[in-house]
């Protein structure tokens, strides 16, 4: 059969999911990616992109649904770029993510024998997020607060209710939308560099019930936004913090260069593992509180601490892992690039009466070699890098430190595989990997890997 062409109508069976959540089918060996396809589906699809080795197609008809296909509960599903697996039964999502971790480690990392532990399923497949970021845009002359349409960064869907966040956060989102419209607040236009509102970020302490609204705007218009903050607190009395972050940069990033407190405190509190954490607007904190507690339990078990060890916590954020481990070791050094997160970590240590932690601000690739040169030695290192994984210089410094045990927490199986492959070549043995489903309904997966010095 000749290679399919754009516009062709094809019959195919979906036999796999790609890393981004697209279904994968084949027509005489030609690979076709189908958004919305579920392994086991028999579909009629129309090809809208035809390259030499693969194509992409849209579903015309589901001729025979997979037993793993379910009805997506969200009215925005298929249009919103956020949750791409709502139409896949949760057990099948877990199987896909387990396979994703194994495939990456074996194919990309070239790793030999290791134990892949059963994935830790989330007890709450919906309503689990403690942080959401929404874009403020203008559609048909009216302001909208929502999420980007799938593959369209120029189109924002007006989201009335997101199923991944709690009812309290949805009430805050609705209240803010009403205030923006009632007060006719202007929306930032990136092309012209004019207008006020850019983003809104909502946070919630799932164990404390405290909520935060972070309004990101182009100017420090406290006079106009102060009354909005007061109305939000009336809308939801548990609102402990409303802050204004200001950025004049054109980049579409929901982080400000200066912050103004509008109502309440500059942080909210969360309880995790018996400790209390203060989380400010621009600090990183795991977005799934329940699963984070389980994840940190896996990390603690992997460290095998006897009480006399020095531990390094790389990419330490607001200090959650550092403070949990400090109860079981001699000393912890946490390294984090975000100044706000370091400040939160110091406050968190003080609030919990923990004195055996030192938090250092800076990039791991710069701070870690300095610690090594200063004579700091650690028996155990925990690392929780961003999706890009380790910078090569940071990985080189880690190998020079040569801790006996290394616990790697990753949100990206591809960079995890790359970094683990490098560490194995530098004398480490991969013992086991524990996947943890932090983000149900999405293709994303977290994993904890334990390595020991060979």
Tell me the three-class secondary structure of the chain, residue by residue.
Answer: CCCCCCCCEEEEEEEEECCCCCEEEEECCEEEEECCCCCCCEEEEEEEEECCCEEEEEEEEEEECCCCECCCCCCCCCCECCCCCCCECHHHHHHHHHHHHHHHHHHHCCCCCCEECCCECCCCCCCCECEEEEEEEEECCEEEEEEEECCEEEEEEECCCCCCECHHHHHHHHHHHHHHHHCCCCECECCCCECCEEEEEEEECCCCCCEEEEEEECCCCHHHHHHHHHHHHHHCCCEEEEEEEECCCCCCCCCCCEEEEEEECCEEEEEECCEEEEEECCCCCCCEHHHHHHHHHHHHHHHCCCCCCEEEEECCCCCHHHHHHHCCCCEEEEEECCHHHHHHHHHHHHHCCCCCEEEEECCHHHHHHHHHHCCCCCCEEEECCCCCCCCHHHHHHHHHHCCCEEEEEECCHHHHHHHHHHHHHCCEEEEEEEEECCCCCCCCCEEEEEEEEC
Would you put residue 146 in left (φ > 0), alpha (ψ -120 to 50) or beta?
beta
- Return the bridge partners of 33, or none: 24, 56
From the list 80, 104, 329, 411, the catalytic residue is 411
Please classify residue 83 by burial: count the beta carbons closer than 10 Å to its beta carbon, then call 0-12 exposed, 13-18 middle and 19+ buried.
Answer: buried
- Provide φ and ψ at 110, rounded to 5°: 60, 35
235 is catalytic: no
Catalytic residue numbers, as ranges: 411
């Amino acid at each position: 059969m000749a290679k399919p062409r754009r516009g062709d109508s094809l019959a195919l069976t979906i036999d796999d999911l790609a890393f981004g959540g697209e279904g994968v089918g084949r027509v005489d060996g030609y690979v076709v990616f189908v958004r919305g396809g579920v392994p086991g589906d028999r579909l009629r699809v129309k090809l809208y992109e035809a390259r030499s080795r693969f194509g992409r197609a849209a579903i015309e008809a589901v001729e025979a649904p997979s037993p793993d296909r379910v009805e997506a509960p969200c009215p925005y599903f298929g249009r919103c770029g956020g949750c791409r697996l709502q139409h896949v039964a949760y057990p099948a999502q877990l199987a896909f993510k387990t396979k994703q971790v194994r495939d990456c480690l074996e194919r990309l990392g070239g790793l030999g024998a290791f134990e892949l532990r059963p994935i830790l399923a989330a007890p709450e497949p919906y309503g689990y997020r403690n942080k959401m970021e929404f874009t403020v845009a203008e559609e048909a002359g009216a302001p909208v607060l929502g999420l980007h349409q799938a593959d369209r960064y120029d189109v924002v869907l007006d989201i009335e209710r997101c199923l991944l966040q709690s009812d309290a956060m949805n009430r805050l989102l609705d209240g803010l939308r009403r205030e923006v419209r009632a007060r006719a607040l202007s929306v930032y236009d990136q092309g012209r560099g004019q207008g006020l509102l850019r983003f809104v970020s909502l946070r919630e302490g799932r164990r404390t019930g405290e909520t935060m609204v972070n309004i990101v705007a182009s100017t420090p218009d406290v006079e106009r936004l102060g009354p909005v903050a007061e109305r939000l607190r009336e809308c939801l009395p548990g609102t402990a913090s409303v802050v204004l972050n200001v950025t004049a940069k054109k980049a579409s990033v929901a982080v400000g260069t200066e912050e103004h407190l509008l109502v309440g405190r500059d942080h909210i509190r969360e309880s995790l593992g018996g400790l209390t954490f203060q989380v400010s607007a621009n600090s990183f904190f795991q977005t799934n509180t329940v699963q984070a507690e389980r994840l940190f339990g896996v990390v603690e078990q992997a460290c095998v601490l006897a009480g006399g060890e020095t531990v390094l916590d790389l990419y330490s954020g607001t200090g959650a892992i550092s403070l949990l481990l400090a109860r079981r070791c001699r000393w912890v050094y946490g390294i984090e690039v975000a100044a706000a997160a370091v400040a939160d970590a110091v406050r968190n240590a003080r609030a919990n009466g923990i004195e055996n932690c030192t938090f250092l601000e800076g990039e791991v690739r710069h701070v870690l070699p300095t610690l090594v040169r200063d004579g700091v030695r650690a028996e155990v290192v925990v690392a929780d890098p961003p999706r890009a994984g380790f910078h090569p210089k940071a990985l080189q410094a880690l190998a020079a430190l040569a801790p006996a045990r290394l616990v790697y927490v990753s949100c990206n199986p591809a960079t995890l595989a790359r970094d683990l492959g490098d560490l194995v070549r530098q004398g480490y043995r991969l013992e086991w990997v524990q996947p943890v489903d932090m983000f149900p309904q999405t293709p994303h997966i977290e994993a904890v890997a334990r390595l020991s010095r060979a």
